[in-house]
Structure 1
Amino acid sequence: MPKGFTDHEKERINSEIIEQGRRLFSTYGLKKTSIEEITKAVHISQGSFYIFYPSKEALYFKILELEEAKIKLKLSETISNDKDSVKKFLLRAYEVVDTNPFIRQVTFDDNMQELLRKLPEQELKAHLNRDTDSLLPLIQRWHENGIRFNEDPEMVAALFRSIFFMAFHKKEIGEAIYPKMIELLVNLVVDGLCREEAPHD
């Protein structure tokens, strides 16, 4: 049986599990990283790992959500008040995702497919709902700045998410043409979706 930990120890160990998990997953991916490797790096037993996470997939998903939160915070600072800012936001999102070592690894070796197979459906649905909820305030800010969308906010959020999900199919699309394809897709979506009006007081 794993030993008990104080609340302070649990907080410290959990931070180390996340840090070492991020490092190992970023380097080797989900399938090639074992719980044993993570626990060795953190200096705890494998049994103790399960105090914090029911599986390595649960840890991977936790780190994915933390990385996405950091990305969203960074992107929220780029919003301005013209239609080009919507394009810049989406292209910047692609750049940030593409240069994040952990997120990049998610797109390799079927890591996302493995995650989808192992995690409970309810947890994945909750994650998608949180994704939509995090985009709605940004869409509202554009609206207040005079950007009008031809669809309701939930549909706009879904379209934006679909662009982000393209990163998980980079290999299938073709890595050589992927950046140009994303730029073209963003231009087509935004030009078809947005119009500019004078912002209301």
Structure 2
Amino acid sequence: MPKSYSDQEREYIVKRLKEEAAKCLSQYGVRRTTVDELVQRVGIPKGTFYLFYKSKELLLFEVIQDQHEAINKELSDALSKTAVKGFSADTVTDLIFDFFKMTEEMPILKLLDTDEVELLVRKLPREVVEAHFQDDTDTIEQMLSMFPIKKNLDVKVVSAAFHAVYFATLHKNDIGEENYDEALRLLIYGIVTQMMK
């Protein structure tokens, strides 16, 4: 019979698993991070891990999602502050560009390349991936409500466009570093100008 844990113990174990998963993800990536390594670092039996997460991919995704949410909050806060001064296509583009550059500099997200992201997504349950994309769409819709946008703008299309920009960031070397920042800014500016009044 599996051991039962108090709420405090459960909270502590999840916190520790996330901390160690973040370290392993930064060091080893998705492929080489193992449940054995995680439970050894946290000091719990392997069976206990599965009381909390059905797979290592779900834990790793949750760690990445936490970082993603922190960045989204920073972007939302920046947009709120800018709303007071007034928006232009350039100011919104600059904010979103800074968001993508900040994402690139996060140790965990910096490590993930196209193959790692595809591997992780492939191993996640479909409903988890769909929920993530819906959360992104909801977040973008909330942010768009802060400034003047065109009527009948399809938020799902805008969300998909920003996902496309994110996936482009995973191909920085293919794009070419010498042109990358300008190309990224141009892509963002194109989306912003098409959605603003």
Give the CA deviation at 1:153. Answer: 3.1
8 A contact 2:26–2:108 mirrored in 1? yes
Matched, 1:138 2:140: no
Aligned CA RMSD, in angstroms, stands at 2.1
Paired letter, 1:128? F
Give the CA deviation at 1:149. Answer: 6.9
Alignment-derived partner of residue 199 in structure 1: none
Gaps of 5+ in 1: 196-201
Give the 5 Å matches for 1:98-117: 98-107=104-113, 110-117=115-122
Matched, 1:42 2:48: no
Matched, 1:71 2:67: no
In structure 1, which of residues 77, 89, 95 is the aligned counterpart of residue 95 of structure 2? 89
Q: How high is the sequence identity, in percent, across the aligned residues?
A: 30
2:170 match: secondary structure: helix
d(CA) in 1 for partners of 2:76 and 2:94?
A: 12
Give the CA deviation at 1:192. Answer: 4.0
Q: Normalised by the size of structure 2, how large is the TM-score? A: 0.87
| Counterparts in 2 of 1:126 and 1:102: CA distance versus 1, 3 Å | same
8 A contact 2:158–2:191 mirrored in 1? no
Deviations 1:155-187 (A, max 9, x none): 223322322232233344344543232122223
| Counterparts in 2 of 1:178 and 1:27: CA distance versus 1, 3 Å | farther
d(CA) in 1 for partners of 2:178 and 2:55?
A: 35
8 A contact 2:137–2:155 mirrored in 1? no
Comparing 172-181 with 28-37, which one deviates more in the overlay? 172-181
d(CA) in 2 for partners of 1:4 and 1:150?
A: 52
Higher helix share: 2
Give the CA deviation at 1:2. Answer: 5.2
d(CA) in 2 for partners of 1:188 and 1:137?
A: 20
Paired letter, 1:103? L
Q: Normalised by the size of structure 1, how large is the TM-score? A: 0.85
Deviations 1:64-88 (A, max 9, x none): 1111110000111221222222101
Deviations 1:111-145 (A, max 9, x none): 111112111112211110111001111101112xx
d(CA) in 1 for partners of 2:104 and 2:47?
A: 35
8 A contact 2:17–2:42 mirrored in 1? yes
Alignment-derived partner of residue 183 in structure 2: 181
Give the CA deviation at 1:38. Answer: 1.0
Paired letter, 1:122? E
Gaps of 5+ in 2: none
